[in-house]
A and B are shown apart, each in its own frame.
Chain A
Amino acid sequence: MQEEARRCLRRFIRRLPGDLLKLAIVLCFVFPFYWMICTAFKSYAEAIRVPVTFWPEQFSTDGITSILGARNVDVLQYLTNSVLITFGTILLQMIILIPAAYAFARFRFFGKNVYFALVLLALMIPMQVTYITVYLTMADWNLLGTLWPQILPHGANAFGIFLLRQGFKQVPDEIIESAQMDSASQLQIILQIMVPMCKSSILTIMLFSFVGTWNNYFWPLVMTNSEAVRPLTMMLVRVLDSELGTRWNEIMAANLLIVIPVLLVYVFTSGKIIKAFTYNGIK
């Protein structure tokens, strides 16, 4: 017993320097977020005070209240836009990609490889190249004043098709065949067999879409020309560009609004999200 304990202790000491270094690195990755929260709860005077305080001496909700109302920024509008855009995009993507993935996974048809190559092409081409034309198209369709330019162009999720095809391929043939014996329609097969069997793949795709759309900054920047249709990421820029100068406690408070939903999702799905991200990286 004593031997055991001594070995444990020795191992602990041997590992201590490495573990301390690990904690130091973890600190590097966590500190910026801590600093954001810390600043958000300081008053402006304290935020720019020298020497720097690493813990708000006086908890102040100045930044948050001024973001939520005092300043001429309609937070609710940005938040609604963000939510509508994100969920609209996820919904549209699901409607489009589930049938497409099913076709690519389960059917043989003429030209399949060419159509699939098109999907792969979409994976490679960055939006920094396509947005000019998409903007012109949206202008042609008279959609610029609406939320559609931020939803429609992301409708075909090439990555999602690619991923879900992989999932659908792993569903055993026998299950589908027996369903067909019971004269189930194709729609029933998709909705009642394929989708439930690939729940985790679909959830993964939804998580990706959520993070990608919620965090998007480039697309709203180039696709919108009025505050009424802009999401939260654009609000951040507006707070920064305000006439009152750079009030860092307010900027960090606005930042909290963007970060917290994602962090909440992360906390609730922590293990899953990490697994999902790494699993997909390999494929």
Chain B
Amino acid sequence: MKRMRVKFLAVSGSVLSVLLLLGGALLIKIAGISDIPQAGFPGALLGGRYFLIILGVVLGVASTCLGSTAVEGGLQKKRYFPYLLIAPAMVFLLIFVVYPILNVLFLSFFRGSVQNPTKEFVGLKNYIALSEKSQFIVSVKNTFFYAAIFVTLVIVCSLLMALWLFDDRKINKFSQTAVFTPHLIATVSCAFIWRWIMDFNDYGVLNTVLSLFGISPVPWLESSKTAMWAIIVMNVWKNIGYYTLILIAAMKNIPAEIFEAAVLDNASRTKRFFKIILPMISPQLFVTLILLTIGSFNVFDSVNAMTAGGPGSSTEVIARFIYLFAFGNVNSLGLGCSAAVFLMSIQLVLTAAYFKLLARRVHY
């Protein structure tokens, strides 16, 4: 009973200290921008603008100490040792992940540049401007188009490949190695190779090969109709091998008895696929789907290296929009930040939705 009470106290203390730290960070930020004299507030004696932060840290340390007494088991003598072990990792995560997330949210309410990120507070104006900017809307559309086609193609193709290259034969092992290779190569390298292959000039090798089959030259990267497809093809080519290997590994984990039983029951191939293989590999398929979808919204390297958003803006994507506006244009850092917040929210919503929708259907 006493332990429960101590734990409750420690947890509420920690929550409060996190809130204090957040408030303190905001206070420092705002104090850094405005010219409000700091002497008035809690007083220089109590740390001035750092008052809330100091309070938060003290409260955090105190609650952690308190909470540590309530943890049973483990190495009791070394109560504070694990904190020492995770401290470096946590410091890095705070500086390079947590703070950037909060800061990007903060900066999205300002108009500014890299030199002076918080030049002028504009409230929600960046978001409104974003929703009216045709370049952004096109980028969002293109990104969704890319993500939908890319994810579908990769999932379908890698499933087919996995079924096909499943058996333990030399040629399959060799094919797996070959198909996997592009995954290790830099996206820029692949992008440049494909750009060279898809060259529209007479010496472009893809069009040369296609002409052998009587297909007239296609301006792959120069036409707004085909450019996005060319990028999708490159990315599918690069990623298929990895997911094929994951799915093969998943299929290898299916117990052999289940297959033998199915063969005894004279189950057809399609039936075996839909009733055994698919349900049995669904956890891996599910993870693959989440990783692929989240990843596909970040597409940048291949687009930047193959088309740089062109022709026109037919291959502009969100990540490139953020890049262009955050660093490129004058005083549009906030606009880029608001686009980054948008990108992050899409990914969070999608992840949550996937877990909700699919988790129930997945066989574990």
Q: Is A56 interfacial (CB 8 A cutoff)?
A: no
- Alpha-carbon separation in the docked complex, A236 to B165 (Å): 35
Q: A29-B182, A128-B319, A240-B192 are in contact. Are A278 and B249 (CB under 8 A)?
A: yes
Asked if B344 CB lies within 8 Å of chain A CBs, one says yes
**Interchain CB contact (< 8 A) of A111 among B14, B172, B199, B243:** B14
Interface residues of B in 71-95 (CB under 8 A from A): 71-75, 78-79, 81-86, 88-90, 92-93, 95
Indicate if A100 sits at the interface (CB-CB under 8 A).
yes
Question: How many Cβ-Cβ contacts under 8 Å join chain A to chain B?
Answer: 272
Which residues in A have their C-beta under 8 angstroms from that of B326? 132
CB–CB A109/B90 < 8 A? no
Classify chain A: how many residues form its interface, as a range: 35 or more
B107 surroundings in chain A (CB, below 8 A): 132-133
A26 vs B170: C-alpha distance when bound (angstroms): 13
**Chain A residues near B114 (CB, 8 Å)?**
135-136, 139
CB contacts (< 8 Å) of A158 on chain B: these are 93, 97
Q: Report the interface size for chain B: residues with CB under 8 A from the other chain.
A: 103
Nearest chain A CB to B158 CB, angstrom units: 11
Closest to B299 in A: A128
Nearest chain A residue, comparing its CB with the CB of B320: A128
Q: Which residues of A contact B100 (CB under 8 A)?
A: 129-134
Known: A96-B92, A107-B78, A128-B319. A282 touches B188 (CB 8 A): no
**0 or 1 for each of A142-162: is its CB under 8 Å from B? (1 = yes):** 000000000011011010010
User: Which residues from B are CB-within-8-Å of A281?
Assistant: 242-243, 245-246, 249, 284, 287-288
Known: A35-B196, A124-B294. A99 touches B327 (CB 8 A): no
Whether B90 lies near A118 (C-beta < 8 A) is yes
A233 touches B186 (CB 8 A): yes
Which of B46-54, B62-70, B222-230 binds A? B62-70
Residues 88-131 of chain A: 1 if any B CB is under 8 Å from the residue's CB, otherwise 0?
A: 00000001110110111001111110110011011011101111
A262 CB-CB contact with B under 8 Å: yes
Complex Cα gap A118–B98 (Å): 8
User: Is A218's CB under 8 angstroms from B89's CB?
Assistant: no
In the complex the two chains form, what is the Cα distance from A175 to B246 in whole Å?
33
Q: Is the CB of B85 within 8 A of A122?
A: no
Nearest CB of chain B from residue A57's CB, rounded to whole Å? 14
Asked whether, in the complex, the Cβ of B347 is within 8 Å of the Cβ of A126, the reply is: yes
CB-defined A-B contacts under 8 Å, sample of 28: A19-B171, A25-B179, A26-B179, A29-B182, A32-B193, A100-B85, A100-B86, A100-B89, A100-B90, A109-B79, A114-B14, A124-B347, A128-B300, A129-B322, A133-B103, A135-B327, A137-B99, A215-B188, A215-B189, A217-B301, A236-B189, A252-B196, A262-B184, A263-B184, A263-B185, A274-B177, A281-B288, A282-B250
A132-B107, A133-B103, A233-B189 are known contacts; what are 9 more A-B pairs with Cβ within 8 Å?
Answer: A110-B70, A111-B14, A125-B344, A135-B114, A156-B97, A233-B188, A248-B196, A252-B192, A252-B196
